[in-house]
Amino acid sequence: MKEAKMYYESDADLNLLNGKTIAILGYGSQGHAHALNLRDSGVRVIVAQREGGANYKKAVEDGWKPVSVAEAVKQADWVHILLPDEVQKKVWDEDVLPNIKKNAILSFSHGFNIRYKRISPNADLDVIMIAPKGPGHLVRSQYEEGKGVPCLIAVEQNASGKAKELALAYAKGIGGTRGGVLETTFTEETETDLFGEQAVLCGGLVELINSGFETLVAAGYQPEIAYFECCHEVKLIVDLIFQGGIGRMNYSISDTAEYGEYVTGKRIITDETRKEMKAVLADIQSGKFADNWIKENETGRPNFKKSREEIANRLIENVGARLRSKMSWAKK
């Protein structure tokens, strides 16, 4: 398999952002990091954030004078949308489309609304993606330390002929080229991101943790012991994998644990599990998941709210909260 090309500091020209005003729509986790990093890189930034909430207060505390989305878009040469997926279409229709400049740049950090054609940008716009592979607080802290969180970039429309170079310049402005930038497409980023969240990182992992916990408790073991074995230690294992891959993790654990991995892992993740993963991916590729998520929002999120409440009431959550409250060393 051909190794993917990575782009670093020398591959990006921050000067391409000179003279441009970038509007950051939304001052949440990613929004605050992008805005602050770009500002510290010498880029002219304007922040759009709805007045009244915690994010508005945070923006003011950080030295911004937040304005409405419509006003920010009118002033901007570049509009970067960092609002929740489910509200982007409404904001696009009502505030961005009527106000965006001709030949402006439109960018995202997730391809959902472009991939599923909820937003159809004008043909004169460059449409690009700059997606850090880490949460906003890490994007900010790594930048402040002179480091950077790796990023993905993608080009959906190249009206100017310089869309890729502009994406790399933005990535450099937020510190991404320090960590490395990988080129993808809106489709690839969206589909792999949703699949990873659902099958592994969130859906799969949460159910694996809770199922292991419940199995031990049902067998008569103390819930506190079950929590430590099936939840608390997940971070320790993931940190080892993050630092040096699965091989590093296997090197660091006991040979007994490693042998258990080899003889038991495929009893848990079976051919049936893999078949279901393919079905999950098919729902993402066909747009079925996206349609269901939009309908869920349009009907007041009944299933979402019910599931959130059910998880909050699980025994593992109550036991974990009690144990973590005593872990003063872990509260950072």
* Annotation: binding site for NADP(+): 27-30, 50, 136
Q: How far apart are CA 179 and CA 58, in angstroms?
A: 27
CB-count burial class (<10 Å; 0-12, 13-18, 19+) for 219: exposed
Give CA torsion, residues 87, 93, 99, 100, to 10 deg: 80
Whole-angstrom CA distances from 241 to 100, 246, 250, 252, 258 are 44, 5, 9, 10, 14
Q: Kindly provide the residue ranges of all beta strands, DSSP E only, lying in 164-240, ordered along the sequence.
A: 181-184
Q: What order do you get walking across the sheet with 44-48 strand by strand?
A: 6-7, 181-184, 151-157, 126-132, 105-108, 78-81, 21-25, 44-48
Binding residues for substrate: 254
The single-letter DSSP state of residue 67 is B
What's the CA gap between 58 and 22, in Å, rounded?
19
Q: Which long-range contacts (CB under 8 A, 24 or more apart) does 122-126 make?
A: 122/97, 123/157, 123/159, 124/159, 125/100, 125/157, 125/159, 126/155, 126/157, 126/158, 126/159, 126/160, 126/162, 126/163, 126/166
Secondary structure class of 97 (helix, strand, coil): coil
Give the whole-angstrom CA distance, residue 122 versus residue 119.
10
To the query of whether residue 110 is one of the catalytic residues in this protein, the response is yes
Q: Which of 34, 80, 110, 232 is catalytic?
A: 110
Cα atoms in the 13 Å half-sphere on the side-chain side of 318: 6
Binding residues for Mg(2+): 193, 197, 229, 233
CB-based contact 81:112 (threshold 8 Å) = no
Residue 89 host element (H or E): helix 85-91
Helices (H) and strands (E) in the chain, counts: 17, 8
Q: Known binding site: residues? A: 27-30, 50, 136, 193, 197, 229, 233, 254
Q: What is the CA radius of gyration of the chain?
A: 22
Task: Tell me the catalytic residues.
Answer: 110
